[in-house]
A and B are shown apart, each in its own frame.
Chain A
């Protein structure tokens, strides 16, 4: 009897779960569908079957130079993440492998810098950017995004590095490995998965950052967040084209995100939930 109940239970749970998942995913799905419609189709009422035109994607590129904000997003997200990793890897390494009584305090303090509301420093940052000619530059925004995400990067790396057993190092040393061999053959292979996850999550966070990227850029360095936000009034860009631009803006990160969902929990809760 228990078998039958379980089977029935599974079917019902499956239907309910798929229904919920469909509803949650619907706005994204509908955007993708609308991007494949013509403009008159897009406002002609509810329909899940587009005529399948790719015209909107072409129009968005020719009329609004889509490639530029897209490349800016890539440059800013990847650049700031790599910069953050270069700064954070030694720090996380030191804290994980030669912790002192102070390590925990340092980590907590780093976390606390993440709690500062962005608007609280909008005025001084804006004035500094203006005075140093950093407004709307790649370098200015890359540094900004690096600083914002640095605490999360240090934290994530720390939680990964901490899981590398110290005994392995001692064993390698016993076997006569030098420091260099130790790093290349023992530590690097064990650290790479953690570094890769951190890289992935931080590209996602930097890609979607929507306060500084909108406020500190106008055109030259404006990434997709600023590009899309500039269509808040619908002149010039209509439903189908807006959908095409939106689809292109979220597609790469959606796919990256699907691969990183496990690390996401860990990274965003600072290791509090695994």
Chain B
């Protein structure tokens, strides 16, 4: 039939999206790459010169760099651990027949819709505040001294806040996957006398494997860039104790005015994200073939 025409029309229809995303991907990223090889400070914009690999060396030799990489990994790892294990547990619970399932689901999913600055400020002031927070009230009730969370455990505090935001996401996706598990299979395993534990290990967990992979990969993409939560709670401190790579780049760029250094950091962030992205693309791509 009119395949020639159809094909031309299809191309025409796709063009705006493709061109926009192409420009969006190529222009800023190549600028970052370019800046990363320049000596360029916003306080001295007239004096731009080629820097070679100096910015990378500088960023690399900054003691904050390794700490920020470590903090990034702790945030990603810690949040993943809490959300995946917690998410499986809660999903299994919500998959049971319970009264008021709809309302329970709504309550559990809610933190995901809370914008990051609100989530962080609510936890900082209402929950974790050393004198007025709920945790402090609980500590006093049991006769303990309240913990000053953001001073004593800044990174852990951020992990807790971010985990609270992402736990609903993991739960919801794992619950969706659980509900697609064939109930006949479950019954058959039960008939054969498989214990609840072995049913979980040999039946449920393999069935969830895909969903768990997707949860881990998608969360990692977002968790590598945690920003607002740090900004409004610890501002990266004390010292660099809660500065992740994203926050360090922001600090270098907009507080230190060092365009070259921040760009070198940006390129490092891209490389980190790409490693994750490759795995995610595979997981999602497989689904397209079905």
Which residues of A are at the interface with B, using a C-beta cutoff of 8 A? 6, 9-10, 13-14, 16-18, 20-22, 24-25, 27-28, 30-31, 34, 42-43, 45-46, 87-88, 90-91, 93-95, 97-98, 100, 104, 106-128, 147, 150-151, 154, 204, 207-208, 210-211, 214-215, 224-225, 228-229, 231-232, 234, 239, 242-243, 246, 249-250, 253-254, 256-258, 261, 264-265, 268-274
Contact = CB atoms under 8 A, between A and B. Distances in A.
Nearest to A252: B113
Contacts, number: 300
Contact of A115 (B18, B106, B246, B276): B276
Contacts of A246: 118, 121-122
B108 A273 contact: no
Contact of A121 (B29, B123, B283): B29
**Counting chain B CB atoms within 10 Å of each CB, which of A100, A120, A224 scores highest?**
A120
A107 B288 contact: yes
Contact of A117 (B21, B176, B218, B273): B273
A261 B228 contact: no
B172 A265 contact: yes
A204 B115 CA distance: 9
Given A13-B93, A112-B277, A119 B17 contact: no
B100 A25 contact: no
A128 B211 CA distance: 39
A122 B250 contact: yes
B172 A46 contact: no
Given A20-B93, A268-B169, 12 more contacts: A17-B94, A18-B98, A21-B107, A21-B108, A94-B13, A115-B277, A120-B266, A125-B28, A127-B31, A154-B17, A229-B117, A264-B172
A191 B221 CA distance: 30
A87 B14 CA distance: 9
Contact of A16 (B14, B93, B101, B180): B93
Contacts of A270: 284
Q: Is the interface of A mostly helix, strand, loop or mixed?
A: helix
Interface string B167-189: 11100110011001000000000
B244 to A, nearest CB: 10
A91 B11 CA distance: 8
B137 A10 contact: no
A94 B5 CA distance: 12
